[in-house]
Amino acid sequence: MVQIERDLDASTYHVGDWQKCLSEFRDLDRATRAILTEDLTRISNKLHRRNGFHEAPTWMGFVLEYLLLATSILMMTAESTLLRFISIILLVSCLQPLIKISMGTLLGVRYSYAYLWYVEPRFKMSFGTYQKLKKWQKVVLQLIGSIGTPLALFAGYYVLSDEPQLVMLFLAAALLAAIMQLSAFVASWLGVRKLGPFLLSNLTTPALLAKELKDRP
């Protein structure tokens, strides 16, 4: 890890070195891994910040996501079809990250900062705290973190039950989202790492779920 941090500071880091480091880290006993938690988090953050994403404090991201959820719930009971439609769009945008970060927090994961992944708000795990989790905890976190988007889309079935065309739209979208997530899981399980220029694990949580299931404890 020391060499990776030096390479990052000197802008001489080579892609793939981090994965090798993590493989070696998993071979260490739990006591040693616990000692290296802060180092792992610090280096992971340095590596992530090379992307240049806009950042905000974690608490600000939490507040924003919960405000979106509260606004969505309040708008669901409106008489206006447009407002109820918007309520589902807001729910789709916030439910998955909220479920995942809330479960992560309960399991002991901490978060370094919130950031904007192109147009999608996300949260950067304090990676050392994630690596301290047991395998079953990682699997539970990634599994729970995969259900938010289909659930939010399926909620449109109830919120807009008096609008048959919109009901069908959201049901189709929920089915499509479920198929895409299942496809990502299968692709990751079969060893697919990238979709175009993007790492599959960066695009969707089910890909991380497959990875955690395959990785050794």
Q: What is the C-alpha separation between 62 and 110, in angstroms, rounded?
A: 12
Structure tokens at 174: 């929920």
Alpha helices in the chain (DSSP H): 2-9, 17-26, 30-35, 37-49, 58-75, 81-107, 127-131, 135-144, 148-159, 164-189, 200-203, 205-214
40 and 77 fall within a common domain: no
The model's pTM is 0.84
25 and 113 fall within a common domain: no
Q: What's the rounded mean pLDDT across residues 186-203?
A: 84
Residue 153, CA atoms < 13 Å, CB-side half-sphere: 14
Residues linked to residue 121 through DSSP beta bridges, in sequence order: 116
76 and 134 fall within a common domain: yes
Reference 155, options 64, 92, 75, 97; nearest CA is 92
User: In Å, what is the CA distance from 20 to each residue of 2, 14, 79, 80, 163?
Assistant: 13, 11, 56, 54, 53
Q: Which domain holds residue 59?
A: 51-214
45 and 60 fall within a common domain: no
Residue 49 has pLDDT above 70, yes or no: yes
What number of other Cβ atoms are within 10 A of residue 140's Cβ? 18
182 and 208 fall within a common domain: yes
The answer to whether the CB of 194 falls within 8 A of the CB of 85 is no
79 and 168 fall within a common domain: yes
Share of the chain above pLDDT 70, in %: 99
159 and 102 fall within a common domain: yes
102 and 10 fall within a common domain: no
Instruction: Give the pLDDT confidence of 150-193 residue by residue, as tens digits.
Output: 999 999 988 999 999 999 999 999 999 999 999 999 999 998 88
Task: Give the per-residue pLDDT at 217.
Answer: 64
Phi, psi values for residue 191, rounded to 5°: 100, 5
Q: Per-residue confidence at 8, pLDDT binned at 50, 70, 90?
A: confident
Instruction: Give the pLDDT confidence of 57-107 residue by residue, as tens digits.
Output: 999 999 999 999 999 999 999 999 999 999 999 999 999 999 999 999 999
154 and 189 fall within a common domain: yes
pLDDT-wise least confident of 23-37, 51-65, 120-134:
23-37
3-state class (DSSP) for residue 27? coil
The answer to whether the CB of 126 falls within 8 A of the CB of 142 is no
Task: Give the per-residue pLDDT at 216.
Answer: 66
Q: What's the rounded mean pLDDT across residues 109-127?
A: 91
Share of the chain above pLDDT 90, in %: 58
Check residues 16 and 40 and name the one with the higher pLDDT: 40
| Counted domains in the chain | 2
Please give the mean pLDDT across all residues of the chain.
89
31 and 67 fall within a common domain: no
What number of other Cβ atoms are within 10 A of residue 195's Cβ? 14
Residues linked to residue 116 through DSSP beta bridges, in sequence order: 54, 121
Residue 95, CA atoms < 13 Å, CB-side half-sphere: 19
Structure tokens at 122: 């996300």
31 and 86 fall within a common domain: no
144 and 107 fall within a common domain: yes
Q: What is the C-alpha separation between 62 and 65, in angstroms, rounded?
A: 5
